Amino acid sequence: MSVDLSVDVGGLRLANPFIAASGCFGYGLEYDEVVDLSTLGGVAVKGLFLEPREGHPPVRIVETPSGMLNAIGLQGIGARRFVADKLPVLRDRGAVVIVNICGSTVDEYAEIARILEDADGVGAIELNISCPNISKGGMMFGSSLQGTHDVVSAVRRVTTRPLIPKLTPNVADVASFALAARDAGADAVSLVNTFLAMAIDVETRRPKLSNIVGGLSGPAIRPIAVRMVHECRQAAPDLPIIGMGGIMTAEDALEFIIAGATAVQVGTANFVDPFVWDKLRDGLVAYLRRHAISSVAALVGTLDTTRG
Partner 1 sequence: MPVDVDAVVLSNTQLSHDYNSVTLAAPQLADQAEPGQFVMVKATAGDHPLLRRPFSVFEIQRDGDGRATGFSLLNTRVGVTTRAIYGLRRGDRVRCLGPLGRPFSLATPPAQAWMVAGGVGLAPFATLATSLRARQVDTTLFYGGRSAADLFYADMFGALGVHVRLSTDDGSRGDHGNVTVPLRAAFASIDRGSPLRLYACGPTPMMRAVTDLAASEGRNTDVSLEQIMGCGLGGCYSCVVPLRSAAGTHFVRSCLAGPIFDGSAVDWERLGR
Q: Tell me which residues touch partner 1 (CB under 8 A).
A: 23-26, 30-31, 33-34, 46, 54-55, 57-63, 65-68, 70, 72, 75, 210, 218-219, 248, 268, 270-275
- State the nearest-atom distance from the C-beta of 62 to partner 1, in Å: 8
* Nearer CB in complex with partner 1: 66/294: 66
d(CA 252, CA 280): 9
- State the nearest-atom distance from the C-beta of 173 to partner 1, in Å: 29
- State the nearest-atom distance from the C-beta of 136 to partner 1, in Å: 19
* Nearer CB in complex with partner 1: 59/198: 59
Q: What Cα–Cα distance (Å) separates residue 167 from each residue in 86, 155, 200, 228, 305?
A: 26, 16, 27, 10, 25
- Indicate which residue of 24, 102, 131, 232 is catalytic: 131
Q: Is the separation of the CB atoms in 94 and 71 below 8 Å? A: no
Is residue 131 flagged as an active site residue? Answer: yes
Q: Is the separation of the CB atoms in 97 and 121 below 8 Å? A: yes
* Nearer CB in complex with partner 1: 3/61: 61
- State the nearest-atom distance from the C-beta of 39 to partner 1, in Å: 16
- State the nearest-atom distance from the C-beta of 227 to partner 1, in Å: 19
Q: Which residues are catalytic?
A: 131
